[in-house]
Amino acid sequence: MSSISLADWLQLFGHFMLLSFMAIGGAIVIAPEMHRLMVTQTGMLTDPQFSASIAIAQAAPGPNVLFVAVMGYQAAGLAGAAATMIGIMLPSSTLAFAASRWSQARQDWRAVRAFKAGMAPLTIALLLATGWILAANTPGWAHLLLTVGAALAVWRTRIHLLILIAAGAVVGALGWI
Amino acid sequence: MEQESRPLARPASLTELFTAFTALALQGFGGVLAVAQRVLCEERRWLSREEFIEILAVGQVLPGPNVVNMSLMIGDRFLGWRGALAALAGMVSVPLVIVLLLAAAYTEFAQNPAVAGALKGMGAVAAGMIVGTALKLAPVVRGNPMGKTACLLLAGAAFVGIALLHWPLLWVLPILGLVACAYAWIRVSRKEPA
């Protein structure tokens, strides 16, 4: 971790503002682009630091986008975390706010209703695909069983989600998967 | 898969929005979406499944983290721009502090095999939770003006393209999205000629 000059800070901030506009499907989608920027291009992070950023954010509760803050923190301390996190959030949040206002004011427009109807099956398919990709990243029968079990529990029961996560942690810590 | 019958509620104050989203975010290991669906649709009853899907759809089409976009739009819907900020802050601020503390302590626990194993197990469960949430939301398309067959075809195409063929989302989403929205437009127009 190192301190950062104002010029470098602004550059980091600007880069993540640009990346924000590309993050369709979530921040993790642009992880390869962040890797190019932070590891290959500027050398602000090493390869293990980059992977660790994603792992740390996954171990912590909260939205996945927090890996961006961890990346900034590892590169340049709290100032770095502020640059990357505010940078990634500001443009997309402003856009989401504008879109929210726009579509709420036009709820009865045929185009808005067509959008909602058209996107519903795609939205569900995207969720399924996300789960599939996450599960396929780590092969193995025990792993798959755990994933399928969790899916069934969420789908069919009201068991608390923290219990499911805790069960996964215990099974993993015992080395069963 | 019982359909909830309790009437919908709404947050009474900015504080309630903030604390609800903080509590929700703190339960979200490996992604917040499954928890968000459970809490917002079933426990607090702030949104119907249909509304949840609608907001998620907008969040997915727009750039940026989906759940962050969602929290902002939900907060705005109930309590205006202050609500948007409260929900957004709730979603991000406390988890941000926790993740930075973890990052600071990372070198301590990184080498521990039990920790690495636990992370793997949590990852497997998190993936399953997202699949389970998708299955739970799927009945929403029943009332869809496009009809069941078209919905299944579109969802199938999206899943195959993204999950199996690994085509970039930046291509799949706009192309299938345009097809789907155009078809939905035709079906909606046919029902109620202008």
* B4 CB neighbour count, 10 Å cutoff: 11
Q: What is the mean pLDDT of residues B117-126?
A: 86
Quote the CA–CA distance of B119 and B124 in Å, as a whole number: 9
| Nearest residue in B to A62, CA atom | B25
Does residue B163 sit at the A interface (CB-CB below 8 Å)? yes
Contacts of A167 in chain B (CB under 8 A): 121, 125
- What's the pLDDT tens digit per position in B130-144? 899 999 999 988 889
End-to-end Cα distance, chain A? 34
Does residue B187 sit at the A interface (CB-CB below 8 Å)? yes
Q: How far is A136 from chain B (nearest CA, A)?
A: 9
- Interface-testing mutation among B62, B137, B151, with chain A (most A C-beta atoms within 10 A): B62
Inter-chain CB proximity A120 and B126 less than 8 Å: no
Q: Which of residues 32-51 of A touch B (CB under 8 A)?
A: none
Q: What is the mean pLDDT of residues B141-160?
A: 93
What parts of chain A have a pLDDT lower than 50?
1
Quote the CA–CA distance of A40 and A42 in Å, as a whole number: 6
Contacts of B104 in chain A (CB under 8 A): 73
Is residue B33 within 8 A of residue B66, CB to CB? The reply is yes
Q: What is the mean pLDDT of residues B156-176?
A: 89
Closest CA to B88 of A92, A25, A169: A92
Token code pair at residue A124: 């569900």
- What's the pLDDT tens digit per position in A150-175? 999 999 999 998 899 899 989 999 98
Quote the CA–CA distance of B70 and A48 in Å, as a whole number: 32
Query: Taking 90 as the threshold, does the pLDDT of residue B77 lie above it?
Result: yes
pLDDT of residue A32: 78
Q: What is the mean pLDDT of residues B175-190?
A: 94
Does residue A58 sit at the B interface (CB-CB below 8 Å)? yes
Contacts of B62 in chain A (CB under 8 A): 24, 92, 95-96, 99
Q: How far is A139 from chain B (nearest CA, A)?
A: 10
Q: How far is B148 from chain A (nearest CA, A)?
A: 10
Is residue B28 within 8 A of residue B64, CB to CB? The reply is no
What's the complex ipTM?
0.85
